[in-house]
């Protein structure tokens, strides 16, 4: 079997590995389309409108990726030489190839996350620069929800939004997995998203779409993001084929995220029984679990699992992610395979 032949494997590397279901593909095939660069694609317009309404924002803008949506948002909020404040493990700081600096001429100010995935507001306050020619101008606070699977408390979000406004900062949410947060809290997603000036929501993670992210915000901000999207090469033509997957997912794949959370919980409980594994059960809130295994087991465990039809990103610190293509039975198989491996150690 080649490493790339993943179709029949239980793939725990990420929730981005899902394949569109037959019903989703049918919705894509049937999509009404037009040229979205002219604003003519009815499916794109519908998806943008639906997400704007759900999130409590004026408008939405469809992007090919979350990386591009975040960058366009940063460019809409901040001008050349201006600064955004975010978590030092934040996606836009760590995992977007420095795009904000490379393409946006923006300056990041990273701050360490607290244990619950929040940024301490007194640390943010201390990071805001006075109006002085020596410093970049602080413009924006960026939060992430979920952050490594952790759900930000609603009270914190309200407080952070008030704080940002009080300090003349915009506030952006990297909400790649914000639907997981909403389902976990049992609230409509708008209860989280309406507190932000802009939110980037991924369709290609837990929602199971092949492609796509939507940025929501007010019309003036999105007009700037629209220009940035053009600069970044993100203007797409008959993108309704892709947007149709998003529309389908909003209807069929949101509530079911609870199954992924239950599967992650069951997987965590099973693995926590294994004495060589270190796992903090209280940190498992949504569809991700993090565990530590002995360094010497990293390669052989990954190989053992691969033989058993299970894919992980190998390392001593493992992140396992549940999603649409991981069933409750799969979880049992994964626990059994881990047990099988560690029983002989």
Ligand X SMILES: *Cc1c(COP(=O)(O)O)cnc(C)c1O
Binding site for ligand X (CB under 6 A): 65-67, 70, 91, 144, 174, 176, 202, 204-205, 213
Is the CB of 86 or the CB of 241 nearer to ligand X?
86
179 vs 341, which CB is nearer to ligand X?
A: 179
Min CB(65)–ligand X separation in Å: 3
Least separation in angstroms between residue 209's CB and ligand X is: 10
| Minimum distance of ligand X from residue 343's CB (angstroms) | 34
CB 291 → ligand X: shortest distance, Å? Answer: 19
Torsion on CA atoms 98, 102, 106, 109, rounded to nearest 10: 30
DSSP per position, 206-222 = TT--SS-EEEEE-HHHH
Q: Count the Cβ atoms, other than its own, within 10 Å of residue 290.
A: 16
Nearer to ligand X, 87 or 270 (CB): 87
- Nearer to ligand X by C-beta: 204 or 265? 204
Residues 36, 54: Cα–Cα separation, whole Å: 22
Contact between residue 177 and residue 145 where contact means Cβ atoms under 8 Å apart: yes
Contacts of 76 (CB under 8 A, 6+ apart): 198, 217, 221, 222, 224, 225, 228
Residue 293 or 312 with smaller CB distance to ligand X? 312
CB of 107 to ligand X, least distance (A): 19
Element (H, E) at 72: helix 66-77
For ligand X, give the closer residue by CB, 43 or 147.
Answer: 147
48, two tokens: 């943008």
Q: Is 271 exposed, middle or buried (0-12, 13-18, 19+ CB in 10 A)?
A: buried
> How near is the Cβ of 297 to ligand X at its closest, in Å?
27
């Amino acid at each position: 079997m080649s490493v790339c032949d993943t179709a029949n494997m239980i793939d725990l590397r990420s929730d981005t590995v899902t394949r569109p279901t037959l019903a989703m593909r049918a919705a894509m095939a049937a999509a009404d389309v037009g040229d979205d660069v002219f604003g003519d694609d009815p499916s794109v317009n519908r998806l943008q409108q639906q997400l704007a309404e759900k999130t409590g924002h004026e408008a939405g803008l469809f992007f090919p990726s979350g990386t591009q949506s975040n960058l366009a948002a940063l460019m809409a909020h901040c001008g050349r030489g201006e600064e955004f404040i975010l978590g030092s493990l934040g996606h836009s700081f760590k995992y977007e190839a420095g795009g904000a600096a490379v393409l946006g001429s923006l300056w990041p100010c990273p701050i360490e996350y607290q244990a619950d995935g929040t940024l301490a507001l007194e640390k943010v306050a201390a990071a805001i620069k006075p109006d002085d020619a020596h410093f970049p101008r602080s413009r924006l606070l960026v939060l992430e929800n979920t952050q490594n699977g952790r759900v930000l408390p609603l009270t914190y979000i309200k407080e952070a939004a008030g704080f940002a406004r009080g300090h003349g900062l915009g506030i952006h949410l990297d909400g790649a997995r914000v639907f997981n947060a909403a389902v976990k809290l049992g609230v409509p997603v708008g209860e989280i998203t309406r507190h932000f000036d802009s939110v980037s929501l991924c369709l290609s993670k837990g929602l199971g779409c092949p492609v796509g992210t939507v940025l929501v915000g007010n019309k003036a901000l999105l007009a700037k993001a629209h220009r940035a999207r053009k600069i970044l090469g993100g203007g797409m033509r008959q993108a309704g084929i892709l947007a149709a997957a998003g529309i389908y997912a909003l209807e069929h794949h949101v509530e079911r995220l609870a199954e992924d959370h239950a599967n992650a919980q069951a997987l965590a409980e099973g693995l926590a029984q294994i004495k060589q594994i270190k796992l903090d059960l209280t940190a498992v809130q949504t569809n991700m679990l993090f565990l530590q295994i002995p360094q010497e087991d990293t390669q052989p465990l990954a190989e053992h699992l691969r033989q058993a039809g299970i894919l992980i990103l190998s390392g001593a610190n493992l992140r396992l992610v549940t999603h649409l293509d991981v069933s409750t039975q799969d979880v049992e198989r994964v626990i059994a395979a881990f047990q099988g491996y560690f029983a002989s150690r």
